[in-house]
Structure 1
Amino acid sequence: MSETLLVTEAPGGSVPGASGGRQFWRRLRAQRAALVAAVVVALLVLVALAAPLLTALEGQDPTTYHPSLIDSARGGVPVGALGGIGGDHWLGVEPQTGRDLFARLAYGARVSLGVAFAATVVQVAVGITMGIAAALGNRWVDQLLSRITDIFVALPLMIMSLALLAIVPTSFPRPVLVTLVIGLISWGNIAKVVRARTLSLKELDHVAAARLSGWGSWSVARRELLPGLAAPVITYAALLVPQNITVEAALSFLGVGVKPPTPSWGQMLTAADVWYQAAPQYLLLPAGALFVTVLALTVLGDGVRTALDPRVASRLRVGTGRRGENKAGGAS
């Protein structure tokens, strides 16, 4: 996403207060697609948080093998219709292992969503720090930090992640490692957004007055700049989460992400690639969960962007109106 689109000002030049918060929720509620996406995301987060409770209600866990539910004569295909779906196994069992699919999907949501959200927090923290430091520093500091940011923007995330995850000892907690690798490599774009927005905010009278009154750089940043950075940062962070879910799934799919027996949707897809004919639900369930999650987060992120910057919606309406007028004129 371009920096120009994200570096926008709320009415009045800064993030609005309580009344602005009410306006934001009103604009967000007016977008039905964003509301549906928010409900879907909330349900997914609830499933992830309540995974132990849900699997306890089912009476299963994500790591126990059930060899009696596997037909070894057919190569490990689950016994029964639809992959062994029943009262004891709500979504059936895995081929070859007999592990409960519902339990692994629920615990996999904890890993996939947890890694994505935590990596986004790391990206935002590093990006804000680097962006503000570059904008408030002198010319040499700005040039140095900007060139470092450019290097990280240019780094190929997947290749660097593959290299780093391959050399780190397996004893290091894998979800934490994946979170740190994603967060510490792909913060460059948000740092550019923060730097550009901070340079704009520096020219405002209240920020200049704070600097002239003797406030330190970080006091100015905390009291005067961070409120004005909230809107673009929240917008960009909302769009980073689905991207990070996709990266985590891809790394697990390639075998360098989360390791068994810890469940992950990407890891489940890796193990399911040879079972798409004999046990299609083993492939479709994690793939469907990933698709729905990424779609819902993307739609929600776009809704947040429009709610924080109503001028985007206005431009869209104006463009649509002009196209309608052109069509009407052509018809006449």
Structure 2
Amino acid sequence: MSEVLVASQAPGADLTVLPGASGARQFWRRLRAQRAALVAAAVVAVLVLVALAAPLLTAIEGQDPTTYHPELIDSARGGVPVGAFGGISGEHWLGVEPQTGRDLFARLVYGARVSLGVALAATVVQIVIGVVVGVAAGLGTRWVDQALSRFTDIIVALPLMVMSLAMLAIVPSGFPRPVLVALVIGLIAWGTIAKIVRAQTLALKGLDHVSAARLSGWGTWHIARRELLPGLAAPVITYAALLIPQNITVEAALSFLGVGVKPPTPSWGQMLTAADVWYQAAPQYLLLPAGALFVTVLALTVLGDGVRTALDPRAASRLRVGTGRRREAKADATAGTDGPSGGPDMPSGGAERGGAS
């Protein structure tokens, strides 16, 4: 059941996509060749470090995300922060929150913890359920496949936001809200990855090394673990990289609608909810969480696209072929413009066309 032997016998096979050290080196080489993906990876790394180091950063600043500072609020002006640029000072690096005076920097970095943590946890739940259901449908009997496929279709058809609003509204408030949001998103939005995994499983189980494993007497789940899961790694990793920014957006939307993370726990979506009436008096209160969300989703999306290209050698080869065709077309256009002006290629080109006619 050697995958290397089977792949090497296939016409036009690319051994660089096989699992192992050589495949990992090829993946990193392709990823490093994409400058946008490297920049996005650096941005994501910085965001993760900021989220993990939130207690340290706020301790250096000397603030926390929940303490009120009423002395920094101008109650005569409706709760606008005292001072220029929303109360920015040496003690409050990004200013303070209107009406409450809570430190914006502390709430922003702790909000990164919540947004990234919820998105990552929801992605893990989606991947686990989707892979299990997809592999079971692909390897099961016709009745099992039909039952799981129809159930997956129902899950895919469910409106994510509506179902999330309904489930979050009926759960007791004592349940940890970030954990609840991650579970709700993960339990509702696993249908697409299940359909991807099922289709890939059906394609993989017809290969020679899987058939040889069946003839050797291996069990279904043993075959899935040893022969199918390595082949499913690339599409699953690719889709997971694209799921994280989507889940960040969903968490922010749920918090913005008031059914996600509840105060005093900071969240970027929750900050946007409270900032919708302060965009003129204190614009930084709206721009900071909105900018953080935009940069995070953009960086994760670009990184996910880079991972997809690095894991799919056919995408890279299509880029090379397309570049070669453009160069050939440019060369043909140059030769065509030189011909009428008496270029050296004109007589031979005309003779060839005449001979052909």
TM-score by length of 1: 0.94
Partner secondary structure for residue 203 of structure 1: coil
Alignment-derived partner of residue 257 in structure 1: 260
| 1:217 corresponding residue in structure 2 | 220
Amino-acid identity (%) = 84
- Alignment check: 8 A CA contact 2:16 2:26 kept: no
Query: Within 2, Cα distance between the matches of 1:184 and 1:66?
Result: 40
1:273 aligns with 2:276: yes
Compute the displacement of 1:243 (Å).
Answer: 0.3
Q: Within 1, Cα distance between the matches of 2:317 and 2:77?
A: 60
Counterpart in the other structure of 1:226:
229
Offset from partner CA, 1:282-316 (integer Å, 9 cap, x none) = 00000000000000000000000011112112213
**Aligned residue runs from structure 1 range 47-58, under 5 A:** 47-58=50-61
Which residues of 2 match residues 27-66 of structure 1 at below 5 A?
27-66=30-69
Question: Is the Cα–Cα contact under 8 Å of residues 241 and 307 in structure 2 kept in the other structure?
Answer: yes
**Structure-1 separation of matches of 2:141 and 2:169:** 39
Q: State the match for 1:285 in structure 2.
A: 288
**1:158 correspondence with 2:166:** no
Contact 2:242 2:301 in 1 (8 A): yes
Q: Secondary structure at 2:29's aligned position in 1?
A: helix
Deviation at 1:13, TM superposition (A): 9.7
Aligned counterpart, 2:205: 202
Q: Distance in 1 between matches of 2:248 and 2:13?
A: 29
Residues 120 and 240 of structure 1 are in contact (CA less than 8 Å); yes or no, is this contact kept in structure 2? yes
Q: CA deviation at 1:56?
A: 0.6
**Which AA in structure 1 matches 2:135?**
I
Structure 1 counterpart of 2:102: 99
Q: Read off the aligned partner of 2:96 and give its amino acid letter.
A: V
> CA separation of 1:100/1:10 partners in 2, compared to 1, >3 Å: closer, same or farther?
farther
Letter paired with 2:147: L
For residues 144-200 of structure 1, the C-alpha deviation after alignment (integer angstroms, 9 at most, x for no partner) is 001111111111101111111111111111101110110011111111111111111
Does the 8 A contact of 1:62 with 1:100 survive in 2?
Answer: yes
Tell me the residue number matched to 1:247. Answer: 250
CA contact (8 A) 2:17 2:313 kept: no
Q: Which residue of 1 aligns with 2:299?
A: 296
Stretches of structure 2 that go unaligned for 5 or more consecutive residues are 1-11, 338-357
| Higher RCO, Cα 8 Å, sep 6+ | 1
Could you tell me how far apart the structure 1 residues matched to 2:74 and 2:214 are? 73
Alignment of 1:313-328 (within 5 A): 313-323=316-326, 325-326=328-329
Looking at structure 1, the residues matched to 123 and 13 of structure 2 have their Cα atoms a distance apart, in angstroms, of: 23
Q: By how many angstroms is 1:16 displaced?
A: 2.3
Shift of 1:132: 0.2
Contact 2:252-2:269 within 8 A present in 1 as well: yes
Matched to 2:189, the amino acid is: S
The CA RMSD measured in Å over matched residues stands at: 1.7
TM-score for the superposition, normalised by structure 2: 0.88
1:183 and 2:186 are equivalent in the alignment: yes
Query: May I ask how many residue pairs the two structures share in their alignment?
Result: 324
Residues 10 and 309, structure 1, Cα contact 8 Å, conserved in 2 = no
SS at match of 1:258: coil
Most deviating of 290-299 and 81-90: 81-90
Answer yes or no: is 1:121 the counterpart of 2:124.
yes
Q: Which runs of 5+ in 1 are unaligned?
A: 1-8
- Following the alignment from structure 2 to structure 1, what is the Cα–Cα distance between the partners of residues 301 and 83? 37
Post-superposition Cα deviations, 1:36-89, rounded to whole Å, max 9, x if no partner, equal 100000000001111011101110000000000001111011111111111101
CA distance in 2, matches of 1:240, 1:10: 29
SS in 1 for 2:280: coil
Q: What letter matches 1:280 in structure 2?
A: P
Distance 1:10 1:271, change over 3 A: farther
2:302 partner letter = V
Question: What amino acid maps onto 1:242 in structure 2?
Answer: P
